[in-house]
Amino acid sequence: MSKDVLYLKIAKSVTEQIKSETLQFGDKLPSLRSAQKLYNVSLNTVKQAYMELESHSLVESRPKYGYFVSQTSQRKLALPSIAKMKVSETKNSPEDLIDKVFGTIAGKDMTQFALGIPGESFLPLPKLKKSMINVIKSKNDSGTDYEPVQGNEHLRREIAKWAMVLEGKITENDLVITSGAMNAVYNCLMAVTKPGDWVAVESPVYFGVLQAVQLLGLKAVEIPTHPIDGVDLDELKKVLPKLSACCFVTNFNNPLGFQMPDESKKELVRLITEYNVPLIEDDIYGNVYFGAERPKPCKFYDEAGLVMWIGSVTKVLAPGYRVGWVAPGKFKDKIIRQKLVQTVCSPSLYSDVIADFLEHGRYDHHLRMFRKKLYANYLQIQKSVAAYFPDNTKVSEPKGGFMLWLELDKRICTEDLYDEAFSQKINFAPGRMFSQYNQYQNCLRLNYALEWTDRVESDLEKLGKMIKNRF
């Protein structure tokens, strides 16, 4: 029997065990070495078999922990549906709703499913404090000097070194430090558009992007977006000639959680290059993967300097620091000029602290803990939603990040549900926030990067009951 057939045979055998629920969601497959003995084959053959299973999304690998049966393999709830392209429909931005939800975020006694940032128990607070004190003690100027407009050199060097996923395609000279990722998105949009221009975004889309588009006097076209594959490239192609920019979150999208497949990323870069349309790639969740490795950003495939690759520490390390960055390709000089005019430079201390964290491996160490904890929460919330929410609930299948997107029965209005949940000290982000049209009213986004307590569990149960009671 050839090796090829051997690995397929093993894969088939495991597939059968999953179908029959002998192996269930979350179960660990035998380790590579155990399986080698079990099937009496080479280590490589086992690896091939497991990779085959992974390519069909039946199992998921978690670095250093092994392979686990994935949720996809046995999902009971359907995926959210895909919205149609709406260009002519009247826009109606959900500013009042956003203000309302943001206005309640400060409440410390809330179960915070609405937040777009991780809870404090996910952050290395004592280490950050220590690093800050060390940095301050070492600064002769007490932080009063201006930084270079482009940003702290030490930080830019460490980000470039740390961006191994780009395989050396960027250096410190390619990076500009920004005041968080939103500041980078805002400045990238400003650099490549003029008022009245069209920009493509996903649908549902992170509301901050819509707000930036509006502030700059631009128009957004919401491209139909698949919950597993991301933006529909055929639909995008139809509007591409009239676009001034695309603005996408390609890895562990907010709110859908998808990871755009590599082939789609390549095709996207090919398309924008053909039409000479800059792509603003917000890759702030890229390091929060549940799979084997950090996925490539589109920037990796960019030869023309059209991809503006954005990162930040907001989502994994220190939201309040407002440290982000962008590798803006050929638009670098414009971005630097804009930053000079808008703020002169970034404050130095936070840059130094983050550079210190990156340089001494503390960021890497923290991320490993962060992903592990987050993946456990992800399994928890999937189970809880399946257990407590109605059977017709549709749910996303994030491959990383910390957002779950739910589509409820058509009769449910999550804006109303929000008020009821709020009175029970439960918070979430209503779906209406994620579009400029009157849609996603029966959807909601849940943040699961919070300390998983009994209260969280019982609050999800409460939320499920509130929904069931509505029909």
Tell me how far apart the alpha carbons of residues 59 and 10 are, in angstroms, rounded to a whole number.
13
Q: Smallest distance, Å, CB 242 to a copy of itself? A: 20
Q: How would you classify residue 252: left for phi > 0, otherwise alpha for psi between -120 and 50, otherwise beta?
A: left
Q: Does 347 bind a copy of itself (CB under 8 A)?
A: yes
Q: Which stretch binds a copy of itself (CB under 8 A): 134-142, 223-231, 290-298, 405-413?
A: 134-142
Tell me how far apart the alpha carbons of residues 355 and 159 are, in angstroms, rounded to a whole number.
8
Q: Does 141 bind a copy of itself (CB under 8 A)?
A: yes
Closer to a copy of itself at the Cβ: 12 or 194? 194
**Helices 95-103 and 207-215, axial angle in degrees (round to 10):** 120
Tell me how far apart the alpha carbons of residues 428 and 112 are, in angstroms, rounded to a whole number.
7
CA distances for 107 relative to 101, 104, 415, 422, angstroms: 11, 6, 19, 11
Q: Which two tokens stand for residue 123?
A: 């952050």
Residue ranges in 200-239 that form contacts with a copy of itself under rule CB under 8 A: 208, 211-212, 215, 217
Q: Which stretch binds a copy of itself (CB under 8 A): 18-26, 272-280, 296-304, 318-326?
A: 318-326
Closer to a copy of itself at the Cβ: 82 or 344? 344
Residue 112: Cβ-neighbour burial (10 angstroms; 0-12, 13-18, 19+): buried
Q: Smallest distance, Å, CB 391 to a copy of itself? A: 37
Report yes or no: 147 and 121 within 8 Å, Cβ to Cβ.
Answer: no
Closer to a copy of itself at the Cβ: 28 or 194? 194
Q: Which two tokens stand for residue 295?
A: 């996925």
Site string for a copy of itself, 88-107 (x = CB under 8 A): --------------x---x-
Report yes or no: 49 and 14 within 8 Å, Cβ to Cβ.
Answer: yes
Q: Does 117 bind a copy of itself (CB under 8 A)?
A: yes
Tell me how far apart the alpha carbons of residues 429 and 420 are, in angstroms, rounded to a whole number.
13
What is the separation, in whole angstroms, between the first and last Cα of the chain? 58
Choosing from 322, 371, 394, 432, the residue that interacts with a copy of itself (CB under 8 A) is 322
Q: Does 20 bind a copy of itself (CB under 8 A)?
A: no
Q: Which stretch binds a copy of itself (CB under 8 A): 155-163, 260-268, 334-342, 399-407?
A: 334-342
Closer to a copy of itself at the Cβ: 107 or 241? 107
Residues that bind a copy of itself (CB under 8 A): 102, 106, 117, 120, 123, 125-126, 128-129, 132-133, 136-137, 139-149, 179-180, 182-183, 186, 190, 194-195, 208, 211-212, 215, 217, 317-322, 337-338, 340-350
